[in-house]
Structure 1
Amino acid sequence: MSVHEHAGKPARPEDRINLGKLASDYFLLKPDVNVAEQKVSFGTSGHRGSATKISFNEDHILAICQAVAEYRLQQGFDGPLFLGKDTHALSEPAFASALSVLIANNVPVVIQHDHGFTPTPVISRLIIDHNKNNESQADGLIITPSHNPPSDGGIKYNPPHGGPAEGEITKLIEQRANEILANGLNDVKRLDLTVAMQSEYLTKSNFINFYAKQLSDVIDLYAISKAGIEIGVDPLGGSGIDYWPEIAKLHNLNIKIVNPVVDASFAFMPLDKDGKIRMDCSSPYAMSGLIAMKDDFDISVGNDPDFDRHGIVTKSGGLMNPNHFLAVAINYLLTHRQWDESVKIGKTLVSSSLIDRVANKLQKPLSEVPVGFKWFVDGLKDGSYAFGGEESAGASFLALDGSCWTTDKDGFVMCLLAAEILAVTGKDPYQWYLELAAELGEPKYGRVEAVATTAQKKVLTSLSQDDVAQDTLAGEKIVAILSHAPGNDAAIGGVKVVTDNGWFAARPSGTEEIYKIYAESFIDEQHLQLIISEAQTLVSAAFKNAGL
């Protein structure tokens, strides 16, 4: 995908969305379940869509929340449901729709006391904390499309383990929600919002103070404070905007929010690589504003709207590649935490092989799983995984005492970890990356995307070893062809081809009408491009063989 001529530049009037029409479309447009794109569909991060495209409308939320209420009842979950939302325009009306259904079903719902925003990791932490100390089982819903453009909406369900719901659960919710849609919402129980807001089933709590106080259980905040690390924070208009001041106050940290704006149009954002407004804290284009300030702070950090992702900017190297920071974080944590010797390092199969080399250097077991943070949930919950991370800049790790912190991605702790690394070692994460690369090899990493139809995505999902005819990749002997992840033998929804010094993985997106090719070389950029080219040839051949 080529770089748009306006990438990294301020949004223009024509780039901004009509918030009034988006809200109107949410309530007025009705999905047709006979149209695949208008059905409820849970990908790796819940159901996402846009009201204008009739893929995220009030009927979707009413049906999903009714399905979740029924699922809770079937499972016997009698604890609270923690309900959060981010700063996307569709999150506010969806929050209201969700409340009206959940309360009508006598679900005990807990929300932020001032009706403010709640990040994904906070919901995870609330669930884990409640279920550790109570017999009743709590779960949660977060209304967010993550880093997706301003016109999008999303909703995801976290069961009592606190992390993203497994495929078996989301399939049940998805199927029931589509049944409800097909039946004209006749099975939906619903209250008027004003009645729901006064219900005894609704509780309001100070999530901000709860989460901020507990952060010292997972990060050495005293070291950061003592070292006087200056941290610049750009929340990118996201749900953690009110959390950073509380964190700074409670732990005596030197934090400055460089952009305090919350605007559902996200018109303050520089345009992303493709010329769209997208709050991707791993993108140098979306993060260009913070990158320009890198010399003003010891460490600068950014997050996406629901704060489950992180972006790390250093004076020495600018915005870090997410893979590079994951490798540095793992190397630091496994040498500065007193965790059990047997703990594993979790990575998705499209994350850098530099992580494999770090694990080998540290003599720690590595578990490589398919894309999706749900695969790390059990290991983080029982403490057998020290760390779980994705190449898309999402990760979490154990608390200082080796207990579970979150079972969902936590952008706060990853950002604060960057500050801790500098405070404790005197070197910033990019300087540590350079040392690792000098010792273990410097990776060249790339990802390309292309539009894909539903039929093409289905072909990619079913790729296997039999579809790879060649025995070499970019001049090297192929040592592995994977359709299932080595860490848990789960299907990867695509194929990964590996050599000694490179690899590629091809798979369809779970949330967008595209497919992705991930690739890496430990030789040079030319070798990387050759890997990508051969991967594209393989994908094209698969489509051709399927008559597409």
Structure 2
Amino acid sequence: MSVIKFGTDGWRALSAREFTFSNFAVVVQAIANLLVREELPEQPTDRKEVLIGYDARALAADFAAEAASILAGNGIPTAMTRRPTPTPAVAHAIADRLALGAFVLTASHNPPEYMGVKFIPWYAGPALSDITSKIEAEVARVYETQDIRRDDSAVPDTLDPRRAYFDALRYLIDFDAIREAGLRIAVDPMHGTTMGYLDTVLRAAGCDVRAIHDTPSPAFGGGLPDPSEERLGPLMDLVRTDYLDVGLANDGDGDRFGIIDFEGRYIAPCDFISLVTDYHLRDARVAPGAKVVRTVATTHLIDAIAERYGAEAVETPVGFKWVGEELRKGALLGGEESGGLSRGDHIPEKDGIFACLLAAEMIAKMGTPLTDQLRRLRREFPEHRWFRRNLHVDPERREAVMERFRSLGERAQVAGQKVAKVDTRDGVKVWLADGSWLLGRPSGTEPLVRVYAEARSEACQEALESLMLEMIAS
């Protein structure tokens, strides 16, 4: 039986344990089979080239070369990067080159002992379930047959997506405003793929850039390449000590963002996405009825902002693939609480570099630090207290805990409020009468139940936090 579970983010596993060259070959061959047979849903028949990119992890380039060999063995033309490259740059190259798709060797923000591979289809966004289910079924078949075809003599074309990607960013971002503002910016690529990307475009825009963790390190300097508040202490210190305007960070493959304000404080993704929503919708050029997209776990402050400007907020399940699908349908922008953001005139894939540049543009054009912009937003839309907790639950108790979440709908009151609605499409989400809400979702990979909540008062927040502990009490 195959140990390979191929989902939205592809397949991630411990390197040299589950993620081996033999198992990886099965994944590549399975996808090659589907591409050659033209069996993926809505697969275009006029595209042939498949791109290959990789991050800075140990053996990532070797796995990329193995993918090129197998694809060549199946008659599929390839182009491969020659250095670690951000996932959004590879995704953009799919659209720019009209490619059939791309393999990206990355485990994103996971620890260095992990390796991963994702397949990005021709529309340059995360693979949807109808595609990943086909891939997983074919992986199981190839795992049994071990019918792998290679051409080790084939040499893939060289892929350097920087110029086209930078050109796209110049269209998306107001670099003239950034240049005029003369911003002083700290950048932390976390030893990942955005080295030579984010810092380069900011320097080209006349910014004074101070970079840390900007040397290659397959072990990510002994840390975790995750731009979360817990991991950005050095960036916070640099912003404070050098009196900089902002600190900008990306994860290992560049699809997530982390932002530090001029006072050295972390700006949570929900807060930044809310600022981005307000920044775009207040622009008179935005058509009435524009759609903004958020996942089920992301702050409803976005909904309140959208309502003010006559826009529509669209809720999706957790996972940027759903956000990307709405962007492809014409939504203005979309984001998720884990640090993913993109816009409808860009790729339908989360792009941490774009998000960081957008932060610089907002500081430059608004003429105030992000913290001041956020304070203004909170004055206009008070009492949106979003928070998240990871509750450790033994696997054998996880279903019982989720049943407790489902039973909340039967209570007369939750956190002092009547229950307005219960939604079980993606975990269990409970809406309360005052607009507060609580969401419980089991992790598919860890012994956790992830709980997200938003309270409309301090008292409600305290009650919801107590309720979280009640849910996991034995």
TM-score (norm 1): 0.79
> Which residues in structure 2 correspond to 1:190-339 (within 5 Å)?
190-192=150-152, 195-196=153-154, 198=155, 202-248=156-202, 250-268=204-222, 277-281=223-227, 283-295=228-240, 296=242, 297-316=244-263, 318-336=265-283, 338-339=285-286
SS state of the match for residue 472, structure 1?
coil
Deviation for aligned residue 1:57? 1.8
Change (3 A) 1:207 1:278: same
Change (3 A) 1:513 1:123: farther
- Matching residue of 2:358: 417
Counterpart of 1:216, as a letter, is: R
Contact 1:397–1:405, Cα closer than 8 Å, also in 2: yes
Counterpart of 2:338, as a letter, is: S
Contact 1:209–1:246, Cα closer than 8 Å, also in 2: no
> Which residues in structure 2 correspond to 1:88-487 (within 5 Å)?
88-112=57-81, 115-131=82-98, 138-183=100-145, 185=146, 187-192=147-152, 195-196=153-154, 198=155, 202-248=156-202, 250-268=204-222, 277-281=223-227, 283-295=228-240, 296=242, 297-316=244-263, 318-336=265-283, 338-382=285-329, 384-398=330-344, 404-451=345-392, 468-484=409-425
Alpha-carbon distance in structure 2 between the residues aligned to 1:540 and 1:169: 39
Deviation for aligned residue 1:501? 4.1
Change (3 A) 1:280 1:471: farther
Q: Which moved more, 1:170-179 or 1:216-225?
A: 170-179
Change (3 A) 1:506 1:141: same
Change (3 A) 1:335 1:221: same
Counterpart of 2:180, as a letter, is: K
Deviation for aligned residue 1:340? 3.0
SS state of the match for residue 49, structure 1?
strand
Contact 2:187–2:199, Cα closer than 8 Å, also in 1: no
Q: Which moved more, 1:84-93 or 1:464-473?
A: 464-473
What whole-Å deviation, never above 9, does each CA across 1:255-287 have from its counterpart, x for those lacking one? 33233222111235xxxxxxxx32211x22210
Deviation for aligned residue 1:152? 0.8
Alpha-carbon distance in structure 2 between the residues aligned to 1:510 and 1:166: 17
Matched, 1:504 2:473: no
SS state of the match for residue 445, structure 1?
strand
Contact 1:208–1:246, Cα closer than 8 Å, also in 2: no
- Matching residue of 1:488: none
**Seq. identity, %:** 28
Contact 1:460–1:506, Cα closer than 8 Å, also in 2: no
- Matching residue of 2:24: 61
Counterpart of 1:476, as a letter, is: Q
Counterpart of 2:64, as a letter, is: F
Unaligned stretches of 5+ in structure 2? 39-44
Change (3 A) 1:531 1:257: same
- Matching residue of 1:47: 11
Contact 1:90–1:152, Cα closer than 8 Å, also in 2: no
Unaligned stretches of 5+ in structure 1? 1-31, 34-38, 132-136, 269-276, 399-403, 485-491, 542-548
How much is the aligned-residue C-alpha RMSD, in angstroms? 2.4
Deviation for aligned residue 1:534? 2.2
Change (3 A) 1:50 1:531: same
Alpha-carbon distance in structure 1 between the residues aligned to 2:59 and 2:437: 39
Deviation for aligned residue 1:41? 1.0
Contact 2:8–2:128, Cα closer than 8 Å, also in 1: no
Contact 2:408–2:430, Cα closer than 8 Å, also in 1: no
SS state of the match for residue 174, structure 1?
helix
- Matching residue of 2:41: none
Change (3 A) 1:231 1:527: same
Counterpart of 2:108, as a letter, is: S
Deviation for aligned residue 1:436? 1.1
SS state of the match for residue 191, structure 1?
coil
- Matching residue of 2:450: 516
Alpha-carbon distance in structure 1 between the residues aligned to 2:423 and 2:168: 40
Contact 1:506–1:535, Cα closer than 8 Å, also in 2: no
Alpha-carbon distance in structure 2 between the residues aligned to 1:116 and 1:106: 24
Contact 2:296–2:318, Cα closer than 8 Å, also in 1: yes
Contact 1:463–1:495, Cα closer than 8 Å, also in 2: no
What whole-Å deviation, never above 9, does each CA across 1:75-129 have from its counterpart, x for those lacking one? 24633212111112252332232222112112211122xx101111112211222
Q: Which moved more, 1:497-506 or 1:512-521?
A: 512-521
